[in-house]
Amino acid sequence: MTKFAAFSSISLTGVYFASILLVLVALACGYLVGRGIGRRRKARGEDASMGSAVAATLGLLAFMLALTFNMTADRFGQRKAMLLDEVNAIGTTFLRTDFLNADNRARARELLREYVSLRSFDPRAMTADDFRRDILRSEQVHRALWALVEREIAVGTDANRLRAFYEPLNQLIDLHTTRVQVGLAYQVPVPIWAALYAISALAVFGIGFQLGVSGSGSKLVALAMAMAFSLVILLIADLDRAGEGMLVVDQAPMKELGEQLRSRPDDR
């Protein structure tokens, strides 16, 4: 996470207003420069060449926006899929506690109920300290569950019975690592953000320049298009962050699993 802390530490509101400011400044600078040149040069050939350059820059910007959006949208889909995988792994591990001895079975179920409560959270309501504490406790629960496997081995539990428990437990532990990495460490690299903003500024500057040179065209339409670029950038930043913004993975499946596990009586 440290490699991306500089950009991720900026709130989405800050990203939005910074994008708007960049767009407005680039558009205004382009218009002023183009207007100054347009007063001295009226050649139509220059306008045609300039229009081609602006169109090419806009095409490159569209490509960068599409590329970055696909990166973040795919990772958002992965986070949703991994949540369901983890819910299934926890549920299966809980069911397979039936293969443990009575004392270990009760302890395993207690730990799994706690684990579900740790994994069922609202990302937008958590602080960084809360998150680190829950991650640390989750890893402690992993070790405690694996210690139960070692106890079962020590008392000579049948290997096939024990395998039925520790295989979904292995999957549960692996999914924890994967969710943490994909949700936090895997983000759009800073160089791509820098390139996206640079190309956005150049494209909007070109639009303003063309308006200034030609002295025609709708400034409101150009401004609306530039603002639309800002909104797309904001959407990309929102998708890129697992614990902030409007687009976060719904934790309802994990909450429902927690309710099911807490309502299940320990009859054995």
> What pLDDT is stored for residue 218 in this prediction?
65
Q: Which residue has the higher pLDDT, 211 or 70?
A: 70
CB atoms within 10 A of CB 213: 24
The residue-averaged pLDDT of 31-52 equals 64
CB-based contact 33:199 (threshold 8 Å): no
Q: Residue count of the chain, please give it.
A: 268
Is the full-model pTM beyond 0.85?
Answer: no
Q: Which residue has the higher pLDDT, 116 or 53?
A: 116
Question: DSSP label at 155?
Answer: T
3 state SS of 189: coil
CB-based contact 253:79 (threshold 8 Å): no
pLDDT value at 74 more than 70: yes
Cα–Cα distance measured from residue 95 to residue 89, given in angstroms and rounded to the nearest whole number? 10
What is the CA 261 to chain-centroid distance, rounded?
29
pLDDT value at 267 more than 60: no
41: left (phi over 0), alpha (psi -120 to 50) or beta: beta
> What pLDDT is stored for residue 170 in this prediction?
92
Q: Which residue has the higher pLDDT, 224 or 257?
A: 257
Would you state the structure tokens that stand for residue 81, as one six-digit string?
A: 């899929």
Cα–Cα distance measured from residue 207 to residue 225, given in angstroms and rounded to the nearest whole number? 10
CB-based contact 231:112 (threshold 8 Å): no
Would you state the structure tokens that stand for residue 243, as one six-digit string?
A: 């614990």
Residues 6+ away with beta carbon under 8 Å from 165: 93, 96, 97, 99, 100, 108, 149, 152
Up-side HSE of residue 150: CA atoms within 13 Å toward CB?
A: 6
Cα–Cα distance measured from residue 17 to residue 203, given in angstroms and rounded to the nearest whole number? 18
Cα–Cα distance measured from residue 209 to residue 196, given in angstroms and rounded to the nearest whole number? 20
Cα–Cα distance measured from residue 88 to residue 174, given in angstroms and rounded to the nearest whole number? 13
CB-based contact 202:23 (threshold 8 Å): no
For 98-118, the pLDDT digits (tens) are 888 888 899 999 999 999 988
Residues 6+ away with beta carbon under 8 Å from 111: 141, 144, 145
pLDDT value at 159 more than 90: no
> Among 12-16, 41-45, 198-202, whose mean pLDDT is lowest?
41-45
CB-based contact 164:95 (threshold 8 Å): no
241-259 burial, b for 16+ CB within 10 Å, e for fewer?
A: bbbebebbbebebbbebbe
Alpha helices in the chain (DSSP H): 5-8, 12-40, 44-96, 102-119, 128-154, 159-180, 190-214, 219-240, 252-263
